[in-house]
Amino acid sequence: MDSLSVVILAAGKGKRMYSALPKVLHPIGGQPMLARVIATARQLQPAKIVVVYGHGGEQVREQIADPDIEWALQEQQLGTGHALKMALPQLPEVGRSLVLYGDVPLTTVETLQRLLAAADGGMSLLTDVLADASGYGRIVRDDAGRIVAIVEDKDCDAAQKAIREINTGMLVLPNDKLAGWLHALRNGNAQGEYYLTDVIALAVADGVAVPGVAVTSSWEAAGVNNKLQLAELERQLQLNQARALLTAGVTLADPARIDIRGRLEHGQDVSIDVGCVFEGQVSLGDNVQIGAYCVLNNVSVASGTRIAAYSHLEQAVVGADCRIGPYARLRPGAALADQVHIGNFVEVKNSKVGLGSKVNHLSYIGDADIGSKVNVGAGSVTCNYDGVNKYRTVIRDHVFVGSGSMLVAPVVLETGATIGAGSVISKNAPAEQLTVARARQLTVAGWQRPKKSS
């Protein structure tokens, strides 16, 4: 098999995005469009991937920061043919090249494999048929149905305008012919550009057949020129991902109301209510239930755990059979063992919570090591920060912390200790005893409420 190179054209300016961010860096599914195209290309296992980037596109190179990518600079955007020519010195003299666009993010690997398989004689073209083909290059076929040329929209005569079969822009080319064809391109057309599409007629003149391969769905070939198109493709991507989850047995309350910006792994009988967002790498074990409007960013959740509505979890590890939320917040470094309960308006950061422990209401647990079967009462706080340094709070097994306690770190609550409600604990609390640190209750005899003078 001859070697495959992939060339991704990504030098276009993207003026209609009205953004300081280069077009191909705008995210789709939480990832720059260009990174997604590169990931798709990589699945074809090409010998190399060359990205043609534009003048001032250093930001693109820095953001993509991929050591396996080769870069070719196209200083002036003189057309798609000129863009490919910029990559020519980096392409081997033999083998084939697949041209992709950095702003067409949803093409599937399966379709590209079909395109490559069709390029038997060295060439093939990815096509689509649209109800409204305006703006696209039209595919011209001869009486025998063979592709003979592509005519750009702005260069079409009336008969060509009526053609509904369009060029997606993606094609496979034989490297040994490519240099000759690219040098033969001229820019005497409506846009004064060097059109890559003109190589079709040159190939046909050279006796090279150009079989067409149709996309499976039009979104595979849809490009992004503005925020509206970006939003539409984002919804398409999310719907595709939701369908894949449903097909794999995940229960989704509504496939139109889930956003996965990364990878979501799951076990069996997982159910997800509406409005949830999954970012980065998220894994959900068997029987996990996620309530409405939760956000999970780089989180792993073991089997049987239920996360109730409006909870936000970031870089956290959650054990099996836990109850989280509603309105819980797990911040980076939160590590919960099995059967832990974290209730409403509880924040946990950089802390371990042991087997079966409960922090159910309105508490802050930061930089703490909590053992098993601990109960932290409502409104308790680990005071971990003195304005300069952070200290740890250690709470050993079977401790009971009464409501409204302030635990001033560094401090240790020994096994089985009980802390009276409202205590400010700044010294270690001994095991199995009641420690109370609050002012004694006082009743003032004969005191009277002030009365209004009016």
**Residues acting as catalytic residues:** 361
Paired with 435 in beta bridges are: 419
**In angstroms, what is the minimal distance from the CB of 129 to Ca ion?**
18
Residue from 286, 343, 279, 269 nearest 311 by CA: 343
> Contact positions toward Ca ion, by CB under 5 A?
223
Q: 196 touches which of ligand UD1, Ca ion, none (CB within 5 to 8 A by kind)? A: ligand UD1
Paired with 424 in beta bridges are: 406
Q: 402 touches which of Ca ion, ligand UD1, none (CB within 5 to 8 A by kind)? A: none
Beta strands in 134-189 (DSSP E): 138-141, 147-151, 165-174
**In angstroms, what is the minimal distance from the CB of 74 to ligand UD1?**
5
Given the DSSP bridges, would you call strands 27-28 and 31-32 parallel, antiparallel or unpaired?
antiparallel
Residue 339 is which amino acid? Q
Q: What phi, psi does 249 have (nearest 5°)?
A: 100, 5
Residue from 209, 194, 187, 162 nearest 11 by CA: 194
**In angstroms, what is the minimal distance from the CB of 227 to ligand UD1?**
16
For the chain, how many residues are written? 454
> Closer CB to ligand UD1, residue 197 or residue 405?
197
Number of H helices, E strands in the chain: 8, 39
Residue from 320, 350, 314 nearest 335 by CA: 350
Q: 79 touches which of Ca ion, ligand UD1, none (CB within 5 to 8 A by kind)? A: ligand UD1
> Closer CB to Ca ion, residue 77 or residue 344?
77
Residue from 411, 420, 454, 416 nearest 438 by CA: 420
> Closer CB to ligand UD1, residue 11 or residue 17?
11
**In angstroms, what is the minimal distance from the CB of 136 to Ca ion?**
8
Enclosing H/E stretch for 312: strand 312-314
> Closer CB to ligand UD1, residue 103 or residue 314?
103
Residue nearest to ligand UD1 (CB): 137
**In angstroms, what is the minimal distance from the CB of 136 to ligand UD1?**
4
> Closer CB to ligand UD1, residue 102 or residue 404?
102
> Contact positions toward ligand UD1, by CB under 6 A?
9-12, 52, 74, 77-80, 82-83, 101-103, 136-137, 150, 152, 166-169, 195-197, 223
